[in-house]
Amino acid sequence: MPHLDVSRLRLPTGPRADRALAGLVLVLTGTAEGQRLGADWDASASLIGSWALAVVVCAVLPLRRRRPTAVGWFTVLCTGAYYLLSSVDGPLVLIPIAVLYTLAAQGRIQTSVAMAAVMVIGVGAGALVGTGDVTGTAVFMLAGWLVATVALGAMRHDRLAYAEEQARLRATRERLRIARELHDVAGHTMSMIHVQASSTLHRLGKNPGLAEEALAAIKQNSKDGLRELRATLGVLRQVDEEAPTTPAPGLSRIDELVSTASLAGLDVRVEHTGPRAPLPAAVDLAAYRIVQESLTNAVRHSGARHVVVGVRHGRRVLALSVTDDGPRPARPGYGSGIAGMTERARALGGTLSAEPGPTGGFTVRARLPLPDHHEQIGGAADDQDPAGG
């Protein structure tokens, strides 16, 4: 005996569901109207008109998804005419109710409420004049069905709107994250290459050895920047492409940033305090990018010669400070670098400040909480800002 797999049974959806509902309602309505046939199967004019209206109302139901308002009013009026001609309480009212749900699910609440009101008023008028099987109970039940239908449609509309809004927010966050990564990678690399190339032009005739060293540094920086850029763009890769295998940068590569900045003319000193421990990937990447962007700003905007990078490894917070001695501020309103650093810190529940020092220079301070601890930032004595700055 063949086994019926119930899990494979699927209810029809879309236009198929409309056609199935229209066919079922037409059959039930036709069966109900058959009670009006006499013993000699003589069909009266009102019976023929009722059948014609039932056929037309069921036939237009599949159009509700393309023209819901027109189909809604058409089915409401034709269904009302049907009940005026017919003496039986057939199920044709299910057709305008289905259209009513479509309107509410599309957010057309005022139209659906107006249609529901017309249906209740029409049926109520029929009950008052004693039309056929229409009674006060029928009016009350119909009103309840219509209220429930509009409410369910409105709930579906709100749920879909919420899901679409969440999808837009996720897409916006992803675009901002990619833009931030591209800014950090490309901005830092191109800034360093620009400074090194300018320095090479001045050294070329005076000191060919130093010029050759600078060109080698430009080559290495462009290679490293291209590698990171490819890794970042891997987010947008096609499904069948291989994922990037290069690990995300972290504070373990801070010496590379120092070396690059030194070739650009900066004297960078890194001061580590506190017991070092492996950092969460997100915190490690954010710390690296903050230091990278701070050094880039010092090269491009401040005219600094010396920079002190402080890294304090606390039990609850990783604290960073980057202080330069530039005569000019790093222009916090310039570009999106400081805004990107702030977003990185806030995304991890931390804070970042960037401001000129009281005696000159510019300082960037960041506090990145470690996710294993949930105490409020700034409560522990061993988690003070590093480098005294």
More confident residue, 148 or 373: 148
Lowest mean per-residue pLDDT among 19-33, 91-105, 180-194: 180-194
**Residue 201 half-sphere exposure toward CB, CA atoms < 13 A:** 5
What is the three-class DSSP state of 191? helix
pLDDT at residue 39, rounded to an integer = 58
- Which candidate, 59, 66, 140, 141, places its Cα nearest to that of 103? 66
CA distances, 17 to each of 63, 159, 167, 253 (Å): 12, 22, 28, 60
Termini Cα distance of the chain: 82
pLDDT greater than 80 at residue 116? yes
More confident residue, 297 or 124: 297
* Residue 206, φ and ψ in degrees, nearest 5: -90, -40
pLDDT at residue 325, rounded to an integer = 85
Contact 314, 274 (CB under 8 A): yes
Amino acid identity of residue 327, one-letter, is P
Contact 353, 298 (CB under 8 A): no
Summarize pLDDT for 328-367 with one digit per residue, the tens. Answer: 655 544 445 788 888 888 888 899 998 887 777 888 999 9
| Residue in this structure with the two tokens 């999106």, named with its chain if needed | 336
pLDDT-derived band at 369, boundaries 50, 70, 90: very high
What CATH number is given for 251-389 in this structure?
A: 3.30.565.10
pLDDT greater than 50 at residue 6? no
What is the three-class DSSP state of 44? coil
Contact 26, 54 (CB under 8 A): yes
Summarize pLDDT for 242-284 with one digit per residue, the tens. Answer: 444 556 678 888 888 888 778 777 888 999 998 888 888 888 9
* Residue 50, φ and ψ in degrees, nearest 5: -65, -45
pLDDT at residue 312, rounded to an integer = 93
pLDDT at residue 51, rounded to an integer = 80
Backbone CA torsion sign across 192, 242, 347, 166: positive
What is the three-class DSSP state of 88? coil
pLDDT at residue 319, rounded to an integer = 93
**Residue 116 half-sphere exposure toward CB, CA atoms < 13 A:** 26
More confident residue, 117 or 131: 117
**Bridge partner list, 323:** 308, 363
Contact 311, 251 (CB under 8 A): yes
- Which candidate, 289, 221, 219, 213, places its Cα nearest to that of 251? 289
More confident residue, 5 or 77: 77
Across 90-97, average pLDDT: 81
What is the distance between the alpha carbons of residues 111 and 72, in angstroms, rounded to a whole number?
Answer: 9
* Residue 37, φ and ψ in degrees, nearest 5: -75, 140
The 3-state DSSP composition of the chain as helix, strand, coil percent (nearest 5) reads 65, 10, 25
* Residue 94, φ and ψ in degrees, nearest 5: -65, -25
Across 190-214, average pLDDT: 68
What is the three-class DSSP state of 196? helix
pLDDT greater than 50 at residue 1? no
Element (H, E) at 328: none
Contact 378, 368 (CB under 8 A): no
pLDDT-derived band at 36, boundaries 50, 70, 90: low
- Cβ contacts of 369-378, under 8 Å, gap ≥ 24: 369/316, 369/317, 369/318, 370/279, 370/280, 370/283, 370/314, 370/315, 370/316, 370/317, 370/318, 371/280, 371/283, 373/315, 373/316, 375/316, 377/316, 377/317, 377/349, 377/350, 377/351, 378/317
pLDDT greater than 50 at residue 382? no
pLDDT at residue 367, rounded to an integer = 93
Question: Would you kindly state where each structural domain of the chain is located, as residue ranges?
Answer: 10-134, 251-389
Across 93-111, average pLDDT: 86
Q: What percent of the chain has pLDDT over 70?
A: 66
Across 210-239, average pLDDT: 65
pLDDT-derived band at 376, boundaries 50, 70, 90: very low
pLDDT-derived band at 137, boundaries 50, 70, 90: confident
Element (H, E) at 8: none
Answering whether pTM is above 0.85, one says no
More confident residue, 70 or 264: 70
Residue 93 DSSP one-character state? G
Mean pLDDT over the full length of the chain: 75
